[in-house]
Amino acid sequence: MNKLILPKHYQSTLDVETTEKAIKKIKDYFQIALADELQLRRVTAPIAVLKGTGINDDLNGIERPVTFPIKCMEEQPAEVVHSLAKWKRLRLADLKMETGRGIYTDMNALRPDEELGNLHSLYVDQWDWEKSIEEKDRTLTYLKETVKKIYSVYKRTEENISKEYPEIKPQLPEEITFIHAEDLLKEYPELTVKERETAAAKKYGAIFIIGIGGELSNGEAHDGRAPDYDDWTTESKIGHYGLNGDIVFWNPIIEKAFEVSSMGIRVDKKALLKQLEIANEEKRKEFLFHKMLLADELPFTIGGGIGQSRTCMFLLKKAHIGEVQASIWPDDMKKTCKEAGIELL
């Protein structure tokens, strides 16, 4: 409950029935626009993967996946996915996808260790996407160009939904601002990571924070990242590390930084080995995914996840993610939300 934010005098712009219709409109429009902008085609994705293959996303490395035995496979354990960060790269290899094109899918995950609140649910739904690139495209410039394309999809979707529901006013700035986590630290040295994000998001409206996972000058990382998908150690021409980052908006309803996407250029062999060493996870080299990458059997890629419920929550100006998705919430949270005018689905 300490994570719960209750905006004063909150009243949802749309009622529940209209909200449900608006959610579908946003999801239909956004995914088509995203596929067109990034040259992606939709594929079907798994809800679970086999344990011990190294395919599941380890997130920050401490979250527990939901695990279950498979009866007809001699009780072999499987895990509900955290995300499809590595699975997508394997799928691109299977499809022999040409350079410059990629895939996207509806990713549904369970993350039981999430701290439940306005932004976090046990149930996670994302558009997970991955695109095949050339080795020469593994640059900060290419990353920024891709971020701008995704941001243009947000702008178009926001405009579209505001035309459909005039009571919802657009708020995103014309352009997204790029800032490295190290520069954010230097600008706000006395603030915590989340406070820095909120200060920058409020100042610019929409930001892309570069370099998530690598150690900053204060000896800490801006945030945790698994060592085997995003590249957070490769040095750029400006002297900073990292070819990944987060898209973060200013949310005036809850008055906080609001992350909608985590993405990046994926590790090559050199970055993988370096990051596994840093994370003290060199044992992962024996997993299927890692063996294939080290054997040059996987393409160079860029990819990420875009929160579906987060996107709907932001564009429909909701105070709680439970207003745009059905999930499980503590009884006291449901009661408190209802008293504050927040109607959870």
Mean pLDDT of 44-58: 81
**What local confidence, expressed as pLDDT, does residue 58 receive?**
66
pLDDT, one tens digit per residue, over 131-169 is: 999 999 999 999 999 999 999 999 999 999 999 999 999
pLDDT, one tens digit per residue, over 10-39 is: 889 898 899 999 999 999 999 999 999 999
**What local confidence, expressed as pLDDT, does residue 152 receive?**
97
Q: pLDDT grade, residue 250 (50/70/90)?
A: very high
Q: Is the separation of the CB atoms in 42 and 35 below 8 Å?
A: yes
Q: pLDDT grade, residue 67 (50/70/90)?
A: confident
**What local confidence, expressed as pLDDT, does residue 106 receive?**
92
Mean pLDDT of 38-48: 93
Q: pLDDT grade, residue 60 (50/70/90)?
A: low
Q: Is the separation of the CB atoms in 277 and 290 below 8 Å?
A: no
Distance CA 22, CA 319 (A): 16
**What local confidence, expressed as pLDDT, does residue 189 receive?**
92
Tell me the HSE value of 280 on the side-chain side, using a 13 A CA sphere: 1
Residue 148 token pair: 């701008």
Mean pLDDT of 295-323: 95
Mean pLDDT of 278-302: 92
pLDDT, one tens digit per residue, over 188-220 is: 999 999 999 999 999 999 999 999 998 888 888
Distance CA 161, CA 26 (A): 7
Distance CA 97, CA 91 (A): 9
The neighbouring-strand residues paired with 206 are: 249
Beta strand extents in the chain (DSSP E only): 40-42, 48-50, 67-70, 76-80, 102-110, 123-132, 177-180, 206-210, 244-251, 256-265, 301-307
Task: Provide the annotated active-site residues.
Answer: 57, 111, 126, 246, 259, 262
Q: Which fold has domain 16-339?
A: BirA Bifunctional Protein; domain 2 (3.30.930)
Distance CA 112, CA 305 (A): 19
Residue 71 token pair: 């009866």
Beta carbons within 8 Å of 154's beta carbon, 6+ residues apart: 172, 206, 260, 311
Q: pLDDT grade, residue 85 (50/70/90)?
A: confident
